[in-house]
Chains A and B, each alone.
Chain A
Amino acid sequence: MNVVTAAEGVRKVRALYESLRGDVAFLRQAPPADPVLSAEIATVLAGEARLLDTRAFDRWLALWDPDACYWVPLSADGDPEHDQALFLDDYRRLTERIWRMGDTSAWALVPYGDAVRVIGSVEAWAGEADGEVFASSTLTIQYTRMQSLFVTSGRQIHRLRRKDNTWRLSRKILLLPAQAGGTPHLGWLL
């Protein structure tokens, strides 16, 4: 590739991608999780999943901080700097997803499907910055729409922040191995 420009914008983008790679790499080298923190975060993740499953999308969106990043790589070794992803959203893109969830001309989503998220193996670690938390959990999603049923499992990574006694989301990564072989479209996935 060409000479790297030192411009601030491209540095910012690369820093985000470096950080996303780091989150996935952390799964392989993490120390034992903090059991008390893990129990507390399990409740937060259950609440997040409940809002999605019950289509309370506005309340779900309200959980996010403005530096939101939602990333669904095509594989666990996917690199946001060198590979396409299924999704790599900022806050704005998340607002668009939520808008589409209620759009009656989003033919792929209407009639609405029903999702059930089953979360397990929640582990949480205190992050480097004060009040920041890194969490890993396993996830099975069953999605039913019209007469079709889709089930897939994977791992989710969350970054959360404690602010004014509530937990805010700043990052969510979904690693879904089934994507490698092909899945139905995942336009409903959050």
Chain B
Amino acid sequence: MTSDSLRPDAVIARGPDLTAEVAHLVREDVVHRRVYTDPELFEIEMDRVFGGTWCYIGHESEVPQPGSFVRRRLGRREILLARTEAGEIRGLLNRCTHRGTTLVGEDRGCRNRLTCPYHGWAFALDGKLLNLPIAHSYDKLYERPFDLGQLKVESYRGFVFGTMAAEPPDLRAWLGPAAMWLDEHIDRHPQGALRVLPTAVRQEYRANWKMAWDNAADGIHATFAHRSYNLLGKEAETDTVLARNPNTTPMISRTLGHGHCVVDQRPGIPAGPWSTMRPLPTRNDLEASLRDSGQRTRENLDLMTGSMVNLSIFPNLIFVGNQMMIVEPMAVNHTRLSYYLVLADQAPDEVNLMRLRVDEDFVSFGTPDDLEMFERVQEGLATVEEEWVDISRGDHADTFDEHGHAVGDIASEAPIRAYLAEWKRLMGSPIPTTVRRSRIESAKFMNPGRRRQAAASGD
């Protein structure tokens, strides 16, 4: 282990110690505006929150065969989730090890090698350098890392998480109780078979990425921010899931450690998820079709819409309806949300045909009002003299489960306090990170005796 960044096995903890600063910024029941507005803090987040801990990077069903890849971002890093010839999942840095050119511009594809358009270096999907045009001209190649940089990736039942951390926590331990809720999400799909569609709805808002976290488990905003959506529901004589009175609903909000949280709306909707759905395009035809084939069961109907369990896995994965919302920070005041739709491969066709249309409803009539709130909060936070934002709601009423995690009703801001506590933990001190490679041991620094061995020999 070395902190000499010229060495291929370097482990480096970058940036300043901020322990005192974040202790000042995030208090028990208030948070400082700079957490949302400070560009310098944002740059450090890009290392420590997006890179220094596990982040969701994609689902195995998105790379179904050897050579499949999808292009993603991890903080500032261009990355690829790829499946190797041997069928393994890898997280590659989409960055040629020669000059730094991004290798892939497409959002997804399937190839047996990734060839850099600049000088023709070609890599296998396990990151190994396969071909080096005019190899003899690269005299000092073995003094430097040459296989593609990789992040560490691990799968939890098909959900792939990645990190640059040199010594990341065990993924299962990091998920903690969130794993059980993820299990529940997976297992509601017949035979646990779910497939993530590759094309995402991508929407941007001009505000900090953490606005999405402040909102994800906020049970009261549904009544006010989504008044329009709820009125629309009433027009159709439907009580949308957001129309419940937050004072009296038995819906539960739980923090799950490491900033994760879940809102379980099911106790508030005894008639089941499908009862909250308004009339939708194709709904009558698809329900009729299920009825004709004797499959119009409550189970199939409920499977058409979301589970009404909103699981959020900090810092970038939020389950809403049948979509997974991925939070991608672009700048301190600019965020992109990508909504990936999940299908249930073993369910009747009607279920999946309906799933295609269900979430368009909220994207049309709900999401815009959320994004408007995020932008208006960001505008308000520009006032430097008003330094503090209140996050105390419900803290007197929270109880704690056997893991010591706060549990409250959906009016509690416990999930906000919990993710900010994790943010504070990650941001406080530099996190050692390292770039993985297929063949670090082949580099000269690692094996001083070996030189000028053609990379193309593929040892």
CB distance from B89 to the nearest CB of A (A): 24
Binding site for B on A (CB under 8 A): 1-2, 4-5, 7-10, 12-14, 16, 74-75, 78, 80-90, 92-93, 96-97, 99-100, 103, 105-109, 148, 179-188
A1 to B191, CA, bound (A): 13
Across-interface contacts of A188 in B (CB, < 8 A)? 368
Across the interface, B349 reaches (CB within 8 A) one of A4, A78, A97, A182, namely A4
Q: Beyond A84-B359, A185-B203, A187-B364, is A9–B289 a contact (Cβ under 8 Å)?
A: yes
Residues B281 and A89 in contact, CB atoms below 8 Å apart? yes
The answer to whether the Cβ of B235 comes within 8 Å of any Cβ in the partner chain is yes
The answer to whether the Cβ of B399 comes within 8 Å of any Cβ in the partner chain is no
Residues B347 and A2 in contact, CB atoms below 8 Å apart? yes
Across the interface, A9 reaches (CB within 8 A) one of B197, B225, B292, B367, namely B292
Residues A9 and B372 in contact, CB atoms below 8 Å apart? no
A5 to B291, CA, bound (A): 11
Given known contacts A2-B346, A88-B281, A182-B336, what 12 new A-B pairs fall within 8 Å (CB)? Answer: A4-B349, A9-B285, A9-B286, A74-B201, A83-B197, A103-B232, A107-B369, A148-B206, A180-B202, A185-B363, A185-B368, A188-B368
Residues A106 and B369 in contact, CB atoms below 8 Å apart? yes
Interface size for B (C-beta < 8 A) is: 55
Residues B228 and A182 in contact, CB atoms below 8 Å apart? no
A97 to B345, CA, bound (A): 32
Residues A1 and B349 in contact, CB atoms below 8 Å apart? yes
A10 to B360, CA, bound (A): 19
The answer to whether the Cβ of B439 comes within 8 Å of any Cβ in the partner chain is no
CB distance from B291 to the nearest CB of A (A): 8
Residues A182 and B232 in contact, CB atoms below 8 Å apart? no
Which B residues, 123 to 152, have Cβ-Cβ distances below 8 Å to chain A? Answer: none
CB distance from A112 to the nearest CB of B (A): 13
Residues A8 and B289 in contact, CB atoms below 8 Å apart? yes
The answer to whether the Cβ of B352 comes within 8 Å of any Cβ in the partner chain is yes
CB distance from A15 to the nearest CB of B (A): 10
A37 to B264, CA, bound (A): 57
Residues A100 and B365 in contact, CB atoms below 8 Å apart? yes
Q: Beyond A75-B199, A78-B199, is A10–B289 a contact (Cβ under 8 Å)?
A: yes
CB distance from A179 to the nearest CB of B (A): 7
Q: Write 20 A-B pairs (CB below 8 A) sorted by A numbering.
A: A1-B349, A2-B346, A5-B292, A7-B288, A9-B350, A13-B282, A13-B353, A81-B356, A84-B359, A86-B360, A87-B364, A88-B281, A88-B360, A92-B279, A99-B232, A107-B225, A148-B206, A182-B204, A185-B203, A185-B368
Residues B350 and A10 in contact, CB atoms below 8 Å apart? yes
Q: Beyond A86-B201, A182-B202, is A12–B360 a contact (Cβ under 8 Å)?
A: no
CB distance from B281 to the nearest CB of A (A): 4
A148 to B353, CA, bound (A): 36
Q: Nearest 3 pairs between A and B by C-beta?
A: A187-B368, A9-B289, A108-B368
Closest to B361 in A: A93
Residues A103 and B288 in contact, CB atoms below 8 Å apart? no
The answer to whether the Cβ of B76 comes within 8 Å of any Cβ in the partner chain is no
A14 to B285, CA, bound (A): 10
